[in-house]
A = this chain, B = another copy of it.
């Protein structure tokens, strides 16, 4: 199977081939290097004029992309590490996401900002964060994250085709992962339902009736599956998993369907706990349904340390998910 990286790279190639408005911008994205994580590899060789390596100017790059988008192009920006989204916050919050509504729907801002997030590689406090939560709920901005189950190529293609700005969050550890196949490997015991449109959600239903629902996105689907396996093997607890591709706006219909069955919600994410993605998921779920039980698993509210012993303690583990699940069903 191709890896997530292969598929993302393919989507970029395909988008550039089929739509000449698509333009790449980012730091060190030219061949032979092809970007810090190689996602843009091959593009500059094939499309030398439309692949622009930029100075180290995150704010301006996204600003430039906003301007390009306002004037008819479809820029795709790479921010080398997700930790630097703090530098593009003004462009995303006060420019990209506002123009369409503020100008009374007379313009569109088809910008995609791609960036790798996440830790577990020992990169330390400024190169390991999961900061997507800063932008969840920003009106006018979509936040989307690929995973190893849905096709990352289709997801990225949809983001590029979107008329509105999209922050596209790629977990570093996903790049090397081969795509999963429903019915194979540890998916064998799950029935997989896909719902939603361009940024689909996947509901994994086990053979027997589930006692809780795990909501997650991106790389944490890998941990969630491992936890589900453990819960089944060690504790005979069946789990449903709802895997989201679209993080914001929050469209939680498939989760609600699952919660009708299980009435117990466990959210899993790698960012710090407080006001993470899971907070809004939990809040919406309980506003909608009385009597739910809820737990969240996330990173400790600390920076991500460099030393592995600390990083492992700070970021959520499979065991943390299992423990939370057990406390939820107890």
A contact set with B: CB distance below 8 Å: 83-84, 86-87, 89-90, 92-94, 98, 101-102, 125-126, 131, 133-134, 136-140, 248-250, 272-280, 282-283, 286-287, 290-296, 300-303
CB distance from A309 to the nearest CB of B (A): 14
**A98 CB to nearest B CB, Å:** 5
Query: Quick check: B290 and A293 within 8 Å, CB to CB?
Result: yes
- From A271, which residue of chain B is reached at the shortest CB distance? B137
Closest residue to A275 on the B side, CB-wise?
B137
- Closest CB-CB distance, A290 to chain B, in whole Å? 6
Which residues on the B side are within 8 Å of A273 (C-beta)?
137
Q: Which residue of B lies closest to A248 (CB)?
A: B274
B residues in contact with A137, CB < 8 Å: 133, 272-276, 301
Q: Which residues of B contact A98 (CB under 8 A)?
A: 125-126, 303
Chain B positions within 8 Å of A272 at CB level: 137-139
Is the contact region of chain A dominated by helix, strand, or loop, or is it mixed? Answer: mixed
* Contact present for B93 and A131 (CB under 8 Å): yes
A29 to B289, CA, bound (A): 50
Across the interface, A250 reaches (CB within 8 A) one of B140, B274, B292, B303, namely: B274
Provide 26 A-B residue pairs closer than 8 Å at the C-beta atoms, listed in order of the A residue. Answer: A87-B89, A89-B90, A89-B134, A93-B131, A93-B134, A98-B126, A134-B134, A136-B274, A136-B275, A137-B272, A137-B273, A137-B274, A137-B275, A138-B272, A139-B302, A140-B303, A249-B301, A275-B277, A275-B280, A279-B282, A279-B283, A282-B286, A282-B287, A283-B294, A286-B286, A286-B294
Residues of B within 8 A of A139 (CB): 272, 300-303
B-side contacts of A136, CB under 8 Å = 274-275
Q: Which 3 A-B pairs have the closest CB atoms?
A: A137-B274, A137-B275, A86-B90
**Closest-CB distance, A164 to chain B (whole angstroms):** 13
Contact of A282 among B83, B133, B282, B303 (CB under 8 A): B282
